[in-house]
Amino acid sequence: MGTVIAEISVVPIGTGETGVGEYVHDVIEKLKGETSVRFEVNPMGTVLEGELEDVLNVIRHLHEVPFKDGAKRVLTDIKIDDRRDKTESMHRKVARATGTV
């Protein structure tokens, strides 16, 4: 199986606060400890790149982080681009879209 690109957004809700920055920080810290996928954080989520099984495993771990921090409910939005006709990368996709290839 080849490399997939996924975008996730982990949103803790039911925290009693309107700000969720501390929860998001902990999710990113957990992600930094994962070595099986490459990632880039953006203002609205995080892009992951790696083997499908590894990416799904990392997503599962990241989804659990806010619960461990006390959140009562977590909404995780996931988009997966699984292209099997050629090798793809998040940087190549951006370069093609912006005309920098």
**pLDDT 10s per residue in the chain (101 long)?**
679 999 999 999 877 777 888 888 999 999 999 889 999 999 999 999 999 999 999 999 999 999 999 999 999 999 999 988 888 888 888 888 988 87
pLDDT at 56: 97
pLDDT at 94: 86
pLDDT at 32: 94
pLDDT at 76: 97
Just give the CATH number of 3-98.
3.30.70.930
Sheet order of strands, 45-51 included: 38-42, 45-51, 3-13, 73-81
